[in-house]
Amino acid sequence: MIFKGCKTIAVMTGKRETSAAKKRLEGCRKACEEQGLSLGPVFYPAAAKFEEAFAELCARLSQGAVFDGILCENDWVALGALRALAVHGRQVPSQVKVCGFDDVSIACVSSIPLTTVRQDTDALGKQAARGILELIRGEVPETRRIVLPVSLLRRAST
């Protein structure tokens, strides 16, 4: 989004206390700072779902929230954001760029195909299976933090 010209990037994330939400927010803040920008508003819908994201962003837009890009915790949140922006007359991507995370199947067929970050779900499944097999064998699974590779799928929302 920075390289697409965004100057004020908002973030919409679910639970404040999860390590994933904290890391994503810190990553966004760091990327903005590296480009001489400050992070825009952070929105916390009641849950990381379409309806809650729609309601939260509608409320914030009605209060005058200003941003030209929004990074969303997942694609359902991003789809709710797309709907809220449309209801408030904001044009995507010319006025506001939107990016999700997960690449759910509907992301590419929404009214504005959604730019999203895809995780390597095969690798995620293998790691989960490894932990389950360790439990089945009576072993104590190793505590580990796993960072999976991701790729950006550029679509019409940015």
Angle between helices 75-87 and 50-62 (to 10 degrees): 40
The pLDDT of residue 137 is 94
| Residue with the larger pLDDT of the pair 15 and 29 | 29
Residue 89 is assigned to a structural domain of this protein: yes
Q: Is residue 19 scored above 90 in pLDDT?
A: no
**CATH number of the domain residue 45 falls in:** 3.40.50.2300
The pLDDT of residue 144 is 76
Q: Per residue in 122-132, pLDDT tens?
A: 888 898 898 89
Mean pLDDT score, 49-62? 97
Residue 137 is assigned to a structural domain of this protein: no
Instruction: Report the candidate in 27, 45, 157, 34 with the shortest Cα–Cα distance to residue 92.
Output: 157
Q: What CA–CA distance (Å, rounded) separates 63 from 96? A: 17
The pLDDT of residue 87 is 98
Residue 17 is assigned to a structural domain of this protein: yes
Q: Is residue 141 scored above 80 in pLDDT?
A: no
Residue 127 is assigned to a structural domain of this protein: no
Q: Is residue 147 scored above 90 in pLDDT?
A: no
> pTM for this structure?
0.88
Domain extent, residue 55, equals 2-119
Q: How confident is the model at residue 6 (pLDDT cuts 50, 70, 90)?
A: very high
Residue 131 is assigned to a structural domain of this protein: no
Q: Per residue in 87-122, pLDDT tens?
A: 999 999 999 999 999 999 999 999 999 999 998 888
Residue 57 is assigned to a structural domain of this protein: yes
Q: Is residue 9 scored above 90 in pLDDT?
A: yes
Q: What CA–CA distance (Å, rounded) separates 69 from 43? A: 13
Write down the mean pLDDT value for the chain. Answer: 93
Domain total in the chain: 1
Q: What CA–CA distance (Å, rounded) separates 95 from 118? A: 24
Residue 15 is assigned to a structural domain of this protein: yes
The pLDDT of residue 32 is 94
Mean pLDDT score, 49-53? 97
Contacts of residue 3, Cβ cutoff 8 Å, sequence gap at least 6: none
